[in-house]
Amino acid sequence: MQQLAMDMSPPIHRWMKDDLDRSVFQKSIMVLAARIPAQKTTTFLKSDVLRRYIVDVPKIRSVVWDPSDMQGRRLLLFKVATEAALSSEARIFLTEHSAELVDHTIHLNYDYWTADDILQAVLPEELLDGSPTGFSITGHIAHLNLNKEYLPYKKIIGKVILDKNPAIKTVVNKIDNIDTKFRFFKMELLAGEPNFIVEHHESNCRFTFDFSKVYWNSRLHTEHDRLVQLFKPEDVVADVFAGVGPFAIPAAKKGCAVLANDLNPDSAYFLSTNIVKNNVVDLVRASCEDGRDFIRNAVFNVTENPFPPYSGPKLSRLKEKQSRRDQQALLQNRRDLTHPLAPTLPPRKVITRFVMNLPDSALDFLDAFRGIMVSRDGAGEGSGRLYDAMPMIHCYCFTRELEPVKAAADIRLRVEAKIGHKIEEDVDLHLVRSVAPNKDMYCISFRLPRSVAFAR
């Protein structure tokens, strides 16, 4: 059976470049319609002989009020323009049910079409295949990464994306160069408000930060969650390059104690803000120092200033108050008040995991683990005497090797060269994502060799 179709595409205006003229996107489509009694609408819609002719395109109703009729009748719209285009069976059905055939005009404007529809109508033909309608959303910001051939049209692309996504208030494009010290992407405003302070929700946590001054990648949400799922609630985690807390905050919500560090003062500021907003002040300690110094001092810092023991999942403020009331009521009803409600657990003095989420250069910091268990005066084991097992290290990195076996060999070789020892215990390599046609991001996890931790 021949398929009927209506041309709903927008008019072509390839002369646009910087300015978006929304008024030129108008289109009128003449169709055939059947004027029918309102009470018989269902009968017509369920008719087998009419079904293939009835309008069935997005955002266009197949039945509308008849604007020229005062008796409340409806218009059933067809996707043909003339009565001759209907089959004889369809015409007979309409006659038997006293339907009157009339012309009807469907009016379309800029609001009808999607962002991709509009860009297909304004971009040069040679750029249509890669029409850049994909973007990441962080809070109210849409973040594009435009290829150079689309840069002459960046303003109009930004305006279209802003128009077509009501939740978006700001559209930015990543600029090629990256801040060399703090590793966040520089960006330019394409459309909307110049407001870069966002509130982003991830893993039941709230993150507030200045998107123009810190690093954040919403595409890493799955990876953040994957790694945190590996943590045990009683763990002590040292997050070397914590950013604004995408690992640290969810880990603390799980019950983990966290040392969270970032060299970028803006990241450290918003990390501290997010610690307070997510009610994990007692579980996360923020710092702003060089990653190598942080690694060398982390073991000693936790030994000298231990975290409180794990006491169950982190509750919201409201649930925490209710829990305290419940415990107080339980204690008041107990006959023997000399016994505690639960056994007393020791404070947490041992780091169980290090997270190193700086894939561009994290491997370069691995040499800082040499001797972290040795006392500060170098005379003995120092804090290392507390460690029955060495900490796990989760280190992110890039590789140009695209075959998994070669990628594993490349990353492992670089890790061992930096720490000066073979890695053999609990080694795992996880492909995070492809970041470029010839560049993949991995997370390598391994247990710190004891001989490295106690190296002098």
pLDDT attached to residue 96: 93
pLDDT in tens, 129-176: 877 777 889 999 999 989 889 999 999 999 999 999 999 999 999 886
Whether the pLDDT of residue 1 is over 60: the answer is: no
Distance CA 273, CA 124 (A): 46
* Whether 291 contacts 181, CB under 8 Å: no
**The whole model's pTM is what?**
0.80
Asked if residue 48 belongs to a known ligand binding site, the reply is no
pLDDT in tens, 289-309: 999 999 999 999 999 999 999
Asked if residue 108 belongs to a known ligand binding site, the reply is no
Asked if residue 291 belongs to a known ligand binding site, the reply is yes
Distance CA 33, CA 78 (A): 6
Domains and CATH numbers, the chain: 27-108 (3.30.70), 115-202 (3.30.300.110), 215-308+346-454 (3.40.50.150)
pLDDT in tens, 7-40: 899 999 998 888 899 999 999 999 999 999 989 9
Asked if residue 263 belongs to a known ligand binding site, the reply is yes
CA 302: distance to chain centroid? 32
Whether the pLDDT of residue 184 is over 90: the answer is: no
Tell me how far apart the terminal alpha carbons of the chain are, to the nearest angstrom: 82
Q: Give the residue, 360 or 181, on which the prediction is more confident.
A: 360
- CA-to-CA dists, residue 38 to 53, 94, 321, angstroms: 19, 15, 58
Distance CA 401, CA 79 (A): 54
Strand bridging mode 27-36 / 74-77: antiparallel
pLDDT attached to residue 341: 44
Model confidence at 423, pLDDT cuts 50, 70, 90, reads very high
Residue closest to 452 by CA, chosen among 406, 427, 421, 423: 421
Structure tokens at 218: 């919403």
Any idea which residue has 């970028």 for tokens?
Answer: 264
Distance CA 91, CA 49 (A): 9
pLDDT attached to residue 135: 86
Distance CA 240, CA 128 (A): 43
Whether the pLDDT of residue 410 is over 90: the answer is: yes
Model confidence at 382, pLDDT cuts 50, 70, 90, reads low
Distance CA 78, CA 6 (A): 10
CA 301: distance to chain centroid? 33
Asked if residue 13 belongs to a known ligand binding site, the reply is no
pLDDT attached to residue 422: 96
Beta strands in 267-422 (DSSP E): 284-287, 353-356, 392-399
